[in-house]
Amino acid sequence: MTCASLESAMLRWVHAPNKGMRRIAILMFNECSLLGAGVVAEVFQAANELASSGSGGWLYDVSFLSAGGGMVTCSSALRVWTDGLDARHYGGFDALYVAGGKGALAAASDERLIAWLRRVRRNTGMVRPIGEGRSLLDAASLADSKESGDFRQQPVPPRQIEPNGDTGDRLESMRSALAMVKRDLGGAAARTVAERLLADSCANLAPLLGEDGGLSPGDKVRAAARWLQENCQQAISIADAAQFAAMSERNFLRRFKMEMGITPSSFLLHERLAVTCSLLTESELPVDKIARRTGMGNGDRLAKVFRKRMRISPTEFRIQSRRMVGE
């Protein structure tokens, strides 16, 4: 493997995505509505319980925040403990929800709060208001910047919501959170979470889960490719990816090759090798442990795949890549 080709590979592989924890923030204020904010927290709590019980994948770290920290009194007179805003948050979040309620208008005039929103949104994947929370984004001139992020969904059908009511806010907030869970943990996990929270109150979960058939086959394939990329370190299969895309395995294989120009198996192997190269460069983990952690089986199999694909052993790659990083 030439130095130039190794350097090119490094540019792709050292930036392999980190796995493990999603950071979720819910911004609150006095006289905010607890309903929409609470259901977001419930979705991620239920997803954490599923992941901890063996479903695998991401976990969600949910924080309640407010301008001054401490107790916030919601419009229902319930009090919620929150953390204050500080520089620790400037690294951003995977998702930031802004609570609604009658206190939103007053909160929108808080200059410190607005400045904080403008700062953290630069590194935040999705910013979504809940009901009246939009007034804070309007005040910060963020209403159209990242409101949907990577989890864009169609509005909940009118038959499922009450216009301008708490039920609409609750379901729309749940839908957004479930979209993230579905992408991270799969459609089955998202459905389990929705069923657990809604019980018998919503007979048709398909629109809430984004299963309304609005996505084209190409959209489904690209979403499945992102799912494979973000879950490549887990014990997943192409059948799992086909299920995520809501396709038969045969149709998924055909569509994936047409859309991506590569088979799903090759794509998954490529992503696993990307994470492997990152760990070889940045960690001191033994090769065998890296192989197990990245879904590559064991050190012997990893070495075989590495020599076939890279024309170099994992140990040699580690030495050369670190030499390049140090230059």
pLDDT category at 84 given cuts 50, 70, 90 is very high
pLDDT category at 83 given cuts 50, 70, 90 is very high
Give helix 314-326 / helix 264-282 axis angle, nearest 10°.
60
Whole-model pTM over 0.75: no
**Could you give the angle at the alpha carbon of 59 between the alpha carbons of 202 and 91, nearest 5°?**
115
E strand or H helix at 185, and its extent? helix 166-185
Q: And the tokens for 197?
A: 């929270």
Q: And the tokens for 74?
A: 């919601």
pLDDT category at 191 given cuts 50, 70, 90 is confident
CB contact at 8 A, 126 and 96: yes
Query: Domains of the chain (ranges plus CATH)?
Result: 1-17+214-327 (1.10.10.60), 21-198 (3.40.50.880)
Give the single-character DSSP code of 295.
T
Instruction: Read off the pLDDT of each residue in 186-201 and give the average, rounded to a whole number.
Output: 75
Pairwise CA distance, residues 254 & 217, whole Å: 11
Pairwise CA distance, residues 194 & 232, whole Å: 25
How does pLDDT run across 247-292, given as a tens digit for each residue? 888 999 999 998 888 899 999 988 888 888 888 888 888 999 998 8
